[in-house]
Structure 1
Amino acid sequence: MRNILVLVGSGTKKGNTSQLADAFCKGATKAGHRVHKVFLGDKKLSGCQGCEACKGKNPICIIKDDMQEIYPLINQCDTIVLASPLYFWTISAKIKAFIERLYAIAENDQFPPKETVLLMTAGDDNFWTFEQPISYYSFVTKAIRWKNIGMCLAGGCKSDPKNKYIDEKFLQRAHELGTMI
């Protein structure tokens, strides 16, 4: 059984990215895993300011925001799921801020071992739609020595202020990914 932390970096609680994350969570729960979902859209979360305070005698991040609630969740999990809409050709700023703030938990440039999953949604569905975020995610996971164990990339999602639409095939893929990890 895994302890899974699902971070949703969308600004819309009932949007396509949240639906994709929920499908993953249902699959993972069905498989017997413990799942904790955090909606980052409700969190005050700043990026790293490069102050290096976390590398001093008292190795903690000195930025007083909601990341302080997330650090213990990172320690308790063995799998981290990053769920993000495609914003301006890459992951959302909330997910990026989370990644930057991981610097505080590194000891001698070593990060605690984790497995990761990437869930993403986008309005378009071109062959290159997810190229940049996959490249970034792959680079980050390799650099901090985390193991990518799966992705679900949902292109062609539709959205307007009142209606969200994600193809059922992507929800099914996310659910299956949750059951298989």
Structure 2
Amino acid sequence: MNIVCLLGSPRQTGNSAAIANHFLESAAKRGATTRTFLLNELSYRGCQGCYACKKKLDHCVLNDDLTEVLETIRAADAVVLASPVYYGDVTGQLKCFIDRTYSYLKPDYITNAEPSRLTPKKLVMVFTQGHPDEALFADIFPRYNHFLGWMGFTDGSLLRACGVGPDTGDAALDTVLREAEELAASLMA
């Protein structure tokens, strides 16, 4: 299995990255090949709304550091999207990537029973938040899981840690790290 991971945090050693990396290491031990992109280190723009990917191309017209990411995902079997919750949503870095997935949709995606240009890919989303209340921001995963389903990301799974932040220590992550191992094992089965 080929797994591509996008780390959306500006902190490459933060909690969302730790969980995503643990998941990837667990999957790699079971035979997966993995590749990680640190979105904060790339130079790219969001979707320009030019519709070139619908009118004359089957991919995004922009040629920047996200071009390789979008192409690498085409060949992946699974995609991991990791982000801390910033202001009630994913980081801007990850949101810009998500906007660029518009290029994965066929021109007639609104009426097409198979709207995506991608072969189906498993989706793992990793979210961390400083606030310990699990009810807060619980809408993020269902919203993006449903939306990204159009693009061909299926069988979405969530790894989520609440009450973690730069000053909380590693103890709060133990449960979700075990969940990451279990999810990797089930994905690779």
Unaligned runs of 5+ in 1: none
1:143 is displaced (CA, Å) by 3.3
Q: How does 1:39-78 map to 2 (within 5 A)?
A: 39-78=38-77
User: Which amino acid counterpart does residue 137 of structure 1 have in structure 2?
Assistant: Y
1:145 is displaced (CA, Å) by 4.4
Residues 1:142 and 2:149 are matched in the alignment: yes
State the alpha-carbon separation in 1 of the partners of residues 91 and 122 from structure 2: 20
User: Which amino acid counterpart does residue 64 of structure 1 have in structure 2?
Assistant: N
Instruction: With the length of structure 1 as denominator, give the TM-score of the two structures.
Output: 0.89
- 2:91 corresponds in structure 1 to 92
User: Residue 155 and residue 3 in structure 1: after superposition, are their counterparts in 2 closer, same or farther (change >3 A)?
Assistant: same
State the alpha-carbon separation in 1 of the partners of residues 78 and 137 from structure 2: 22
Assess if the C-alpha contact under 8 Å between 1:15 and 1:164 holds in 2.
no
- 1:14 corresponds in structure 2 to 13
Report the RMSD for the aligned CA atoms in angstroms. Answer: 1.8
User: Residue 149 and residue 135 in structure 1: after superposition, are their counterparts in 2 closer, same or farther (change >3 A)?
Assistant: closer
1:102 is displaced (CA, Å) by 1.0
State the alpha-carbon separation in 1 of the partners of residues 48 and 152 from structure 2: 23
Q: How does 1:161-180 map to 2 (within 5 A)?
A: 165=170, 166-180=172-186
1:9 is displaced (CA, Å) by 0.4
State the alpha-carbon separation in 2 of the partners of residues 86 and 16 from structure 1: 11
Deviation per CA, 1:71-103, whole angstroms, max 9, x where unpaired?
A: 221111011111111111111112111111111
State the alpha-carbon separation in 2 of the partners of residues 151 and 93 from structure 1: 19
SS in 2 for 1:159: coil
User: Which amino acid counterpart does residue 179 of structure 1 have in structure 2?
Assistant: A
1:127 is displaced (CA, Å) by 3.0
State the alpha-carbon separation in 1 of the partners of residues 61 and 159 from structure 2: 34
State the alpha-carbon separation in 2 of the partners of residues 52 and 168 from structure 1: 44
User: Residue 150 and residue 65 in structure 1: after superposition, are their counterparts in 2 closer, same or farther (change >3 A)?
Assistant: same
1:49 is displaced (CA, Å) by 1.4
SS in 2 for 1:49: coil
State the alpha-carbon separation in 2 of the partners of residues 175 and 94 from structure 1: 26
State the alpha-carbon separation in 2 of the partners of residues 34 and 26 from structure 1: 10
State the alpha-carbon separation in 2 of the partners of residues 43 and 136 from structure 1: 26
Assess if the C-alpha contact under 8 Å between 2:134 and 2:162 holds in 1.
no
Bigger Cα displacement from structure 2, 7-16 vs 48-57: 48-57
Bigger Cα displacement from structure 2, 92-101 vs 143-152: 143-152
Assess if the C-alpha contact under 8 Å between 1:16 and 1:164 holds in 2.
no
1:45 is displaced (CA, Å) by 2.7
1:164 is displaced (CA, Å) by 5.6
Instruction: With the length of structure 2 as denominator, give the TM-score of the two structures.
Output: 0.85
State the alpha-carbon separation in 2 of the partners of residues 62 and 143 from structure 1: 20
User: Residue 59 and residue 136 in structure 1: after superposition, are their counterparts in 2 closer, same or farther (change >3 A)?
Assistant: same
